[in-house]
Amino acid sequence: MTEHAHLVDIGDTRLFVNERGQGFPIIVLHGGPGLDHHEFGDYLDSLCDQYRLILVDERSQGQSDPAPLETLSLEVMAHDVSKLASALKLGSYAVLGHSYGAFIALQHAVDFPGAATGTIISNGLPSAKYLEHVAENLANFEPLELRAQVTDSWAREKTAHTQADVECIMNDQWAFQFGNPRDPRILEYIQRTSGSVFAPNVLRHFANQEYGGIEVEAQLSSVTQPVLVIAGRLDRTCVVEGSEAMAAGIPNSSLVVLENSGHMTFVEEPEAYLSAVRGFLDGLKR
């Protein structure tokens, strides 16, 4: 498998990308905010037999250049996707965004309809109103000792100052993000995604700004490219109702719900996840 890591100048900043494989390009957007491309570990690498994965460290995150806080918004980062595609001279490409990266991917599909040949929204939401379910899900989350751990970790996002702070916050939250809070794959996931460069300033910024306030549900009908929506039935953060709303609102869309997954679908049901992604990509007219 070929691999090429480098910085790409997109005008007002430079984004770090890790390119793997060859073939039709897929811009891959990580979650967070405050994480980097290591979130995906090697879980998507089997796609490299036919596709060129372009795993991005989003604006001011990971190994990308620092950018002014006032430029950190979903709209700006959605524009970054198009600027990155232009800088790399991609022409035709797809976008895959997971979690917060799904917010960016959806914002890009709304703001730049048809710019991508296809878009994959993995465990995302079309509106911040669906995040209201998080408080209820956390209030009912068991076991009790993990509920306290997760609740405390979310509060600490607003004051995170070091990479160690972010790493500790994320490790304390994984129980909530997996369908099974005691899933033995959580430790494996942490090991397979080691090497992350966390961005505490970005996490702190968005945690104090309601995480960017995704709000595009009323604009979903403007999306023109094919869209695959992937959801986890047991997702406590980006609830399946939000994915159903996206599939209902986007004209050329399909919905895949993984019944035994929480928020980390590509880890919890990797074969089904990759099958859905590959089937969608193979079906794109490009």
What tokens were used for 256?
Answer: 């895949």
Q: What digits encode the pLDDT tens for the residues 239-272?
A: 999 999 999 999 999 999 999 999 999 999 999 9
Q: What digits encode the pLDDT tens for the residues 88-141?
A: 999 999 999 999 999 999 999 999 999 999 999 999 999 999 999 999 999 999
| Domain 3-283 CATH superfamily | Alpha/Beta hydrolase fold, catalytic domain (3.40.50.1820)
Domain boundaries, the chain: 3-283
> Phi/psi zone of residue 159: left (φ > 0), alpha (ψ -120 to 50 degrees), beta?
alpha
Q: Cβ of 140: how many Cβ atoms within 10 Å?
A: 9
Among residues 122, 126, 124, the alpha carbon closest in space to that of 273 is found at 122
Mean of the pLDDT values across residues 272-281? Answer: 98
H or E segment at 15? strand 14-20
**What percent of the chain shows pLDDT beyond 90?**
96
**pLDDT for the residue numbered 213:** 83
Task: Compute the distance between CA of residue 55 and CA of residue 16 in angstroms, rounded to an integer.
Answer: 9
Q: What digits encode the pLDDT tens for the residues 8-19?
A: 999 999 999 999
**pLDDT for the residue numbered 286:** 66
Please state the pTM of the whole predicted model.
0.97
